[in-house]
């Protein structure tokens, strides 16, 4: 029987073990997409206790706590962080089989010296005290936790209206860690969403651009984009719930749609779709001119449970996979950009794992020889960053595309304790490559295998987000 989360966890062959321990494990982390609060990084935030550090923002854990019968008062409600933590510790044995069970123990072990301790109601006190003692130390503030995991770059997710003052303040500290903003213009694209008109007003004010028509809106967003680039921005990010394929709208129509919505009229579905498509194409060209990476996160069904949304708000664990077709519309969107040679380097993520093959084959359509892997099939995302999800995504990428160009793992997390997810990914990758070697599925070339692992774990992401050619 193998040890729980032992040194060779997920590493089934001698070659896999060598690849992980000698090549993958020592590499730094380029976490180019996450939701860490820039203010906490800049201010070197210290947490009062493990409950706050673990449970304040983690909707992965919240979903499981509710599923296990924990009342909302002890999930996101008025209970103390100690009470919430005790509830979480008590249900830990029920989480077996879910990746959060692995992640939680890796977090306890890698950050707080609790190797071998299995969290439960019986061990809760010991884990609380050990973590609490460390969290009071200066080296266990936000920056210290990042340094402990050898994080080289943090790509935060930021609205065009953001001042980026925390990024500027952190850059001035001279830290070896780079924190860079990521341009997330979802609120400007969501013309059908409540608050759109007020958002455009705010954008006009912060950009200094009078927004009377569609081109003005694009100009205002580009001005904010340049502000982001001045603060180190290397990428954009778009959350795409659905992809639509409307007819092209001419400039007068787009102007009319924008003006009507700002006057209080709800757009028709075809108008909203035309507006979203036109703005996405315009922004894609803006990214291409600045050599920025465009990330498309496709397919969540957000905030589906009314009572939870009203009581707790968005990003509270009430989301699921959307199962609509995406092949035709995604190809059409990328083609609209590519027609004018204005398709930026792009990473595609799907929340629906049945669409992995669609994502990989679509990425292959738009390679143009200018850069290896110009369009990426992004890593298994959200509900899929678990054993089978990551294995399946990487297998399909390898078999239908080029895994050698893959930019690898990211946390997509709001937690500073989430970086062992990179270790999880690296172990799975090394097991896969090691298996290929042992089975004779690739040449018996250790240097080739080591280079492949190093590129996917670190090198490719570094070339895209830290030192672009």
- d(CA 327, CA 346) in angstroms, rounded, equals 16
> pLDDT tens for residues 74-94?
999 999 999 999 999 999 999
pLDDT beyond 90 at 145? yes
Per-residue model confidence (pLDDT) at position 467:
85
- d(CA 300, CA 164) in angstroms, rounded, equals 27
What distance lies between CA 116 and its chain's CA centroid? Answer: 29
- d(CA 15, CA 218) in angstroms, rounded, equals 52
Confidence grade of residue 469 (pLDDT, cut at 50, 70, 90): low
Confidence grade of residue 247 (pLDDT, cut at 50, 70, 90): low
Percent of the chain with pLDDT over 70: 99
Per-residue model confidence (pLDDT) at position 244:
82
435 and 16 in contact (C-beta within 8 Å)?
yes
- 129-151 average pLDDT score: 96
Q: How many CA atoms lie within 13 A of 396 on its CB side?
A: 22
- Both tokens of 271, joined, read 């108008």
Q: Is 47 helix (H, G, I), strand (E, B) or coil?
A: coil
> pLDDT tens for residues 12-61?
999 999 999 999 999 999 999 999 999 999 999 999 999 999 999 899 99
Other beta carbons within 10 angstroms of residue 170's beta carbon come to: 24
What DSSP designation does 115 have? T
Q: What pTM was estimated for this model as a whole? A: 0.96
Per-residue model confidence (pLDDT) at position 243:
80
> pLDDT tens for residues 195-244?
999 999 999 999 999 999 999 999 999 999 999 999 999 999 999 988 88
What distance lies between CA 436 and its chain's CA centroid? Answer: 28
- Both tokens of 80, joined, read 């103390």
420 and 461 in contact (C-beta within 8 Å)?
no
Q: Tell me the DSSP string of 404-433.
A: GG--------S-TT-THHHHHHHHHHHHHH
What angle (nearest 5°) sits at the alpha carbon of residue 450, between those of residues 175 and 8?
Answer: 85
What angle (nearest 5°) sits at the alpha carbon of residue 49, between those of residues 418 and 409?
Answer: 5
Residues in the chain: 469
Least confident of 41-55, 180-194, 315-329, 424-438: 315-329
Per-residue model confidence (pLDDT) at position 313:
87
| Furthest C-alpha separation in the chain | 69
Confidence grade of residue 318 (pLDDT, cut at 50, 70, 90): confident
- Enumerate domains of the chain plus CATH numbers: 14-46+140-465 (3.20.20.140), 47-139 (1.10.2020.10)
- 135-152 average pLDDT score: 96
Q: Is 293 helix (H, G, I), strand (E, B) or coil?
A: strand
In this structure, the strands spanning 182-183 and 293-298 are unpaired
The whole-chain average pLDDT of the chain stands at: 96
> pLDDT tens for residues 384-425?
999 999 999 999 999 999 999 999 999 999 999 999 999 999
383 and 59 in contact (C-beta within 8 Å)?
no
Residue with tokens 């947490």: 47
- d(CA 217, CA 38) in angstroms, rounded, equals 26
Confidence grade of residue 1 (pLDDT, cut at 50, 70, 90): confident
pLDDT beyond 70 at 249? no
């Amino acid at each position: 029987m193998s040890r729980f989360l032992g040194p060779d966890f997920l590493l089934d062959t001698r070659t896999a073990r060598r690849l992980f321990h000698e090549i993958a494990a020592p590499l730094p982390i380029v976490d180019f997409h996450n939701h860490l609060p820039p203010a906490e990084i800049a201010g070197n935030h210290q947490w009062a206790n493990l409950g706050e550090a673990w449970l304040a923002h983690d909707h992965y854990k919240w979903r499981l706590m509710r599923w296990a019968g924990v009342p909302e008062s002890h999930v996101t409600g008025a209970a103390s962080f100690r009470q919430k933590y005790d509830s979480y510790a008590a249900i830990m044995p029920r989480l077996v089989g879910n990746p959060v069970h692995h992640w939680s123990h890796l977090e306890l072990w890698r950050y707080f010296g609790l190797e071998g301790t299995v969290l439960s109601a019986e061990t809760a006190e010991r884990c609380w005290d050990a973590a609490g003692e460390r969290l009071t130390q200066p080296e266990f503030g936000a920056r210290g936790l990042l340094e402990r995991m050898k994080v080289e770059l943090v790509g935060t997710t930021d609205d065009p209206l953001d001042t980026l003052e925390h990024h500027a303040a952190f850059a001035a500290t001279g830290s070896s860690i780079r924190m860079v903003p990521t341009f997330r213009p979802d609120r400007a694209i969501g013309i059908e969403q409540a608050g759109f008109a007020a958002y455009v007003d705010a954008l006009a004010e912060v950009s200094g651009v009078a927004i009377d028509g569609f081109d003005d809106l694009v100009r205002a967003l580009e001005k904010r984009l340049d502000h982001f680039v001045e603060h180190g921005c290397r990428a954009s990010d778009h959350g795409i719930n659905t992809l639509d394929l409307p007819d092209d709208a001419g400039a007068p129509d787009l102007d009319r749609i924008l003006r009507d919505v700002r006057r209080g009229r709800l757009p028709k579905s075809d108008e909203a779709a035309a507006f979203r498509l036109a703005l996405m194409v315009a922004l894609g060209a803006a990214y291409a001119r600045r050599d920025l990476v465009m990330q498309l996160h496709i397919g969540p069904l957000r905030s589906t449970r009314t009572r939870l949304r009203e009581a707790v708000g968005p990003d509270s664990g009430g989301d699921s996979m959307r199962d609509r077709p995406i092949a035709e519309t995604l190809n059409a969107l990328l083609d609209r950009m590519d027609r004018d040679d204005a398709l930026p380097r792009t990473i595609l993520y799907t929340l629906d794992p049945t669409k992995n093959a669609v994502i990989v084959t679509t990425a292959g359509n738009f390679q143009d020889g200018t850069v290896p892997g110009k369009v990426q099939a992004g890593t298994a995302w959200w509900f899929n960053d678990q054993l089978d999800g990551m294995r399946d995504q990487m297998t399909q990428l390898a078999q239908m595309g080029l895994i050698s160009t893959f930019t690898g793992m990211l946390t997509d997390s709001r937690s500073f304790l989430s970086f062992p997810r990179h270790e999880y990914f690296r172990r799975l990758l090394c097991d896969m490559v090691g298996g290929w070697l042992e089975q004779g599925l690739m040449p018996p070339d250790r240097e080739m295998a080591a280079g492949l692992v190093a590129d996917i774990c670190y090198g490719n992401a570094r070339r895209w987000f830290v030192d672009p050619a």
